[in-house]
Amino acid sequence: MTQRRTFLQQLAFAGIGGTVLLKTGKLSAAVEAAEAAEAAKFPKMTYRTLGRTGFNASRLVYGCGAALSRNRADRVLKLAFDHGVNVYDVGTSSYYRDAQRNLADFVGANRDEIFLITKDFVSVGADANPNLEESKAIAADWESKLDTCLADLNQEHVDAYYIMGANNPRIVNNDEIFNSFERAKAAGKVSHLGISTHENASECLSAAVESGKYSLAMLAMTPAGWYDWASKTTVKNSKPLKDLQPELQSARDSGIGLIAMKVGRMLAPRMFGGRGNRDAFDDHYSEKLLKANLSSFQRSYAYVLENGFDVVNADIQNFHILAENFTAAATSSHYA
């Protein structure tokens, strides 16, 4: 929080923000003016067709789950939207608290121009092998959770609904899940099926490809390879991202749009359970990327975008994070 306040104060007392502060005496007004002025300097956003959805997606996805779990962020959401971010990812209130409700007004005001994703868990373990009746119950439960998500968002339809935290390939490629999804689609509640995964991710992606049913896969990936949620580092014996290109290309060839997540988590401070090693991925970067005027987080985002992923999901907690990640996503091709 100290770093956040320092950044805001620097903005508020510089240029336009300082002028507004002198006129109004309000730090909040100064910060708002300063952030708008800084956003006007953003590079032009770039786009990629997101798999079989056909949607021309901004290469930065606004991650709304943790970011909006406790508070609204209407101003930052609007700045992102006004400058070209058009994909917004959120999820179940059982995990992300009030995030969907805090996003609802923004979605309502911009629904026709954004791609909206939500997600919820399936109630089954990673090693389970459910029979037909168990599969029907699991799928029905996951289907019913979509109604809760829609109610929280005050929407009748989302563009994509994910199996959240997918970790069981048998569930990813399960006919009852597909039947539940098709019922929801026929009812006009959703258009596309997806998964998000940071456990057994490679196996789950393979199952999604085999099924031919998925439009999107959000994968926990770093420049050094698959990210492991439990250990807060890369999966043991994971190939680096460069060597995973055939696997990723196979998914894209099958029509699955690929979204990277947890890209910079290993770089983050200890509050996320990791060591916060800002140099963790440097061995994977070209000399050009290493010398670029980018933060360690920006390098990681730019790298995954130029090595197999269509877009990257960032948990955008504040304007500073938006500005940092926006620049990396919009300019990633400069460092290929």
- The pLDDT tens digits of the residues spanning 236-295 come to 999 999 999 999 999 999 999 999 999 999 998 654 555 568 899 999 999 999 999 999
Residue 47, pLDDT score: 98
Q: Which domain holds residue 11?
A: 1-41
Q: Return the closest-CA partner of residue 274 out of 284, 261, 260, 264.
A: 264
Distance CA(209)–CA(186), nearest Å, equals: 23
Residues 219 and 75 in one domain: yes
Across all residues in the chain, what is the average pLDDT?
A: 92
Q: What is the mean pLDDT of residues 102-128?
A: 97
- The number of domains in the chain is 2
Residues 31 and 56 in one domain: no
Residues 237 and 159 in one domain: yes
For 118, the 3-state DSSP assignment is: strand
Q: How confident is the model at residue 183 (pLDDT cuts 50, 70, 90)?
A: very high
Residue 315, pLDDT score: 95
Residues 27 and 172 in one domain: no
Residues 107 and 189 in one domain: yes
Residues 165 and 281 in one domain: yes
pTM: 0.92
Residues 4 and 144 in one domain: no
Residues 70 and 131 in one domain: yes
Residues 185 and 241 in one domain: yes
Residues 133 and 37 in one domain: no
Residue 324, pLDDT score: 96
Residue 206 in tokens: 């393979």
Question: 151, exposed or middle or buried, with CB in 10 Å at 0-12, 13-18, 19+?
Answer: middle
Question: pLDDT tens digits, residue range 35-69?
Answer: 888 899 999 999 999 999 999 999 999 999 999 99
Give the CATH number for residue 326.
3.20.20.100
Residues 124 and 269 in one domain: yes
Residue 242 in tokens: 């460069």
**Rounded-to-5 percentages of helix, strand, coil across the chain:** 50, 15, 35
Question: pLDDT tens digits, residue range 197-244?
Answer: 999 999 999 999 999 999 999 999 999 999 999 988 999 999 999 999
Residues 111 and 172 in one domain: yes
Question: 255, exposed or middle or buried, with CB in 10 Å at 0-12, 13-18, 19+?
Answer: middle
